[in-house]
Each structure stands twice: as C-alpha cells, then as structure tokens.
Amino acid sequence: MLQWTPEIIQLILEMAEKLNESLYPFSVIIPLVSAVTFVILIVYAQKNPGNTSSTYLKILFAIIYVYSGLTILLMIGEEAAFAIAGGVAMWGIALLLVLDAYWKKATFTFSFESHIWIRIIGVILIISGIVLYPIIEIVTGHVWPAMVLFTAECPTTISLIGLYLTAVPKTNKLLLAIISLNAAYTGFAVALAGFLTDALYGIAGVFGILALIIYWKEISFLPLKEE
C-alpha cells in the first residue's frame, strides 16, 4: 500500500502542474465540459428516471475515469509504479461502471420520497466534488495550474460516491464499497501528508461506508439485471 508523504504529495502537485500546462486549454475545457454534462444528465435523470438516464450517467463517469487514468499515466516520472497503479485503478473503476450499466444495479431518480437524509448527503457530495473541492484548494493555497479539477480522481470520486448514495437502496454495493474504502483511506492519508483538500475525499468515503453499514440488508449484492 502506498505510503503518502509530504514529498510524494509535492511531487504529484508538481507533475499535475506540468500536465495542466502542457494540456492547456484542454486541461480546463475537459473538466468544464464534463461537469456541465454531468449536471445536464442529472436534470435529465430527474425528469426521466429509469435505466436509460442512469446508464448515461454511468457511461459519462466511465469515460471520465478512462481519461483520468490516462492523465495519471502521463505523469509517469520518479514515481512510475505509482502512476501505473493509479492509471490502472481508474480504468478498473471505469470497467465497473460499464458493468453496472449492463447489470442495471443502480438507478438514479433523485427522488427524496424515501431515504431522504442519505440522498441529501449524496447531492451535497455531488456538488462538493465539482465546486467545493477546487474552492478548498484555492483557500489552502493551491492555485492554477498546481491544482486538480473535476475529472481528476479525488473530486470525481467524491461526486461519484454522492451519485451512488442518491440511489440507495437500489445502488451498486460492490462499486460503492470499493470507491468508499479507497476514498476514506487515501483522502485522510493525503490530508495528513499536507494536502488538506483531500480531507473532503476522506469524508465522502466515510459517508459511503456508513451508508453501506446502515443499509447493508436493503442493498442487494448480486448483479441481477432484472432488479
């Protein structure tokens, strides 16, 4: 397991800065377009709840995670093993999202008729990944280009955890468990190593884990298409 240290955090921020500069203006355009598309699909899902709108959201995030994995691989340098592991991990999540689109495990209706509080928390996390994360970065002294935006692992996964919390109890237990456990560990470890913004990532992971514990019996595990 990767040991997060201040030196590794600084190295990652330096590589992120170089990558943002080399990919500019796409390093801004792609996160912006992804975030706007996400919001549009949320509105569409609220007006047209069901498997089709939910599939669109899953495919969008699968594409984002493929892109995120590529950007991590482009940061290969002194920590090549870290970059390769990170890129493959992002593609693994993308694969799980594609499988979920096939399995139809999670349905995003954005209805507050039941499980109100966990779904409200989900919406707050969705907003946090897009808006609050970069604000905290700036407040804590990490400004462009030495910062990460939506489509990077941490802010994107905060929003993804939120998205899957809005689907409780018809959510994907396996996917939610994987991303929440990783978020809880990585978020707090990175925050303790000096990048305070990632405490938000850790908090999102804790909420995901708590949701799984509280609603464990309600959330099905087997990927049955007919659910």
Angle, nearest 10°, between helix axes 6-23 and 51-74? Answer: 100
**Structural domain that includes position 163:** 6-214
Split into its structural domains, the chain has a count of 1
In a domain, 222, yes or no: no
pLDDT value, residue 77: 62
179-224 per-position pLDDT tens digit: 999 999 999 999 999 999 999 999 999 999 999 999 998 887 655 4
In a domain, 63, yes or no: yes
- Return all residues near 174 (Cβ < 8 A) that are at least 6 apart: 96, 221, 223
In a domain, 109, yes or no: yes
In a domain, 49, yes or no: yes
Provide the whole-model pTM: 0.94
Give the integer Cα–Cα distance in Å for 218 and 207: 17
Query: What tokens were used for 202?
Result: 């850790």
pLDDT value, residue 80: 66
- Return all residues near 14 (Cβ < 8 A) that are at least 6 apart: 146
Give the integer Cα–Cα distance in Å for 156 and 137: 14
Alpha carbon distance, N-terminus to C-terminus of the chain:
36
pLDDT value, residue 123: 97
In a domain, 219, yes or no: no
| Stretch among 9-13, 64-68, 133-137, 155-159 having the lowest mean pLDDT | 9-13
In a domain, 133, yes or no: yes
